[in-house]
Amino acid sequence: VAKIDYPEPILELIAQLKRLPGIGPRSAERIAIWLLGSQSAAAVQLSAALATAVDAVTTCQECGFFSTRGNPCVICAAPGRDASVVCVVEQATDVLPLERTGAFKGHYHTLRGRISPLENIGPEDLRLEHLYGRIRRGGIREVILAVGSDVEGEATANYIAEALRAMKVAVSRIAQGLPAGGGLESADELTLFRALQGRRTL
Ligand SMILES: [Zn+2]
């Protein structure tokens, strides 16, 4: 006897929703049914917003923050920001918590990861060559390392500080006091503000 289930398009929708972070099978089913129910306008809007975002959003060629296709990000494009100071972060999502502190008016560089021997991530997997290139082009006088304060973050900061030693650029590290094992995303504004203000030269 054939098992009775939802029609194939619904099963496919549930399968796609299940792939999203934090969405289990029960939630996927509930969301799919909700989307296909009386709020169908919401489903069409969601689908349009998703298609637009996927098409339009990319990462800034220079710093790696989010931008729209063909354009530098709002930070790199902003006049009046200090391009001579570059804050190095692990992920693009670390930029906004730093921006919210209001304590930093320079530019950024996103590594897209950090050195982690356990996860087989080495320096060559990070956007480091691009950072060296930016420094070699000139105009950068200070690099602030705002990577996490856990073991991997520490290893990443030490590696970059060592690599930049031969280049004519000051290297500093934001002060300790960030949540243990956490990225910048989980740090509150005041902690981040103090961490930026209290940065120490490496
Ligand atoms: Zn940018």
Q: Residue 94: name the closest of 108, 83, 84 by CA.
A: 108
**Burial status of residue 155 (CB atoms within 10 A of its CB: 0-12, 13-18, 19 or more):** middle
Rounded to the nearest angstrom, the distance between the alpha carbon of 92 and the centre of ligand 1 is: 10
Rounded to the nearest angstrom, the distance between the alpha carbon of 146 and the centre of ligand 1 is: 16
Q: What is the pLDDT of residue 179?
A: 59
Q: What is the pLDDT of residue 47?
A: 93
Q: What is the pLDDT of residue 177?
A: 57
Mean pLDDT by 10 residues, the chain (202 residues): 90 97 96 85 92 95 95 95 96 92 93 93 95 95 91 92 92 74 69 80 81
Q: What is the pLDDT of residue 183?
A: 64
Q: What is the pLDDT of residue 89?
A: 95
Q: What is the pLDDT of residue 13?
A: 96
Rounded to the nearest angstrom, the distance between the alpha carbon of 108 and the centre of ligand 1 is: 7
Q: What is the pLDDT of residue 20?
A: 96
Q: What is the pLDDT of residue 28?
A: 97
Both tokens assigned to 30: 């509930």
Rounded to the nearest angstrom, the distance between the alpha carbon of 73 and the centre of ligand 1 is: 4
Q: Cα separation of 121 and 161, whole Å? A: 18
Q: What is the pLDDT of residue 182?
A: 56
144 phi/psi in degrees, rounded to 5: -100, 125
Rounded to the nearest angstrom, the distance between the alpha carbon of 111 and the centre of ligand 1 is: 13
